[in-house]
Structure 1
Amino acid sequence: MERARQLVGEMLIYCFVVVLLTGGFLTFFYTPSGQLTPYDGSYEPLRGVMMSEAYESALTTSFEVRGGALMRQLHHQSSVLLVIGAVVWALLGRLRHTLALLGLGLSLLGGLTGYGSVDDLLSGTVLGKLPIPFWYGLHLLAALAMGVVLVISARREAARDPRTAAFTALGLGLVVLVIFWL
């Protein structure tokens, strides 16, 4: 059971790397502002609709940046996989590992703040009243903390039971398979 838990932890690291790389790409086109602006992009049905600059930048990335929609989808799917993997990781440890529970909480917080920073699903709710730069900053802090948790946990588990090349390849292959399966 511990080896399966270690494999899930390894997969979480690879998912996190995909989230970081796609998030880094998306950062170049993102505007963390809640100021209202009319949409003037290429998606005709929304042209002229007032929306936050954050949401407009997400739409522009999806419709006008080459590979933007793919990067947004990969970022979202890897984030969902990160949350699901964190749940499995915590359950395989029978909820006794503090780092696994912290990782689960951070992955959930990262998902919530990701939606808040784009002003997508939380807009118009009580949580939507918080400013978008707050959500974006919290999203970046949650990502940083999740990276620290995963690195610490991976080092501890590798010290107890070292990884082999086949084990690493299995983890990487499973992540690629699951990301493209979702």
Structure 2
Amino acid sequence: MTSAELLTDAFGRIKENVHGAVAGLTEKELATRLDAESNSIAWLIWHLTRVQDDHVSEVAGTEQTWLADGWAKRFELPFDDAATGYGQGPAEVAALEGISAELLLGYHDAVHDRTIEYVRGLTDADLPRVVDTRWDPPVTLGVRLISVIDDDIQHSGQAAFIRGVLLRSRRNA
């Protein structure tokens, strides 16, 4: 198995996790927060997709799907178009109310497709390329992609947990 195949598999699992966390939920359920300080499923999925879009487009040297394909306009969020969710608080999380599963999954799938197109073309020789010198040691392409995968897996797992709580609440109502 090549590095490109491993990366393709990992990003494919993230897509499965995202769809599993979101499928069949209402806008209200997607916006539900377990307490006033916690994230909603909608915010978690939007955030993990924005980070993937931002980081992968940067290393690929392409425009973000968020802007290139008009997703920023479709979401109509009160944030700067460059926002990825990093450092946002409860007020910004609340701004994701009224976002549909179709919109979240449409954006995620578009980012996933571009990500897969990029990683399928990578070779082992590409992965040591330094992509960020702001860190010590500098960040390589391989480390950046693993960082995105790690972040996405964590956030999709958080979304799946919230989904489980919501579905149990539905059954007990």
TM range (shorter): 0.3 to 0.5
TM-score (norm 2): 0.41
Answer 1 or 2: higher relative contact order, Cα 8 Å, separation at least 6: 2
Highest CA radius of gyration, 1 or 2? 1
TM-score (norm 1): 0.39
More helix by share: 1
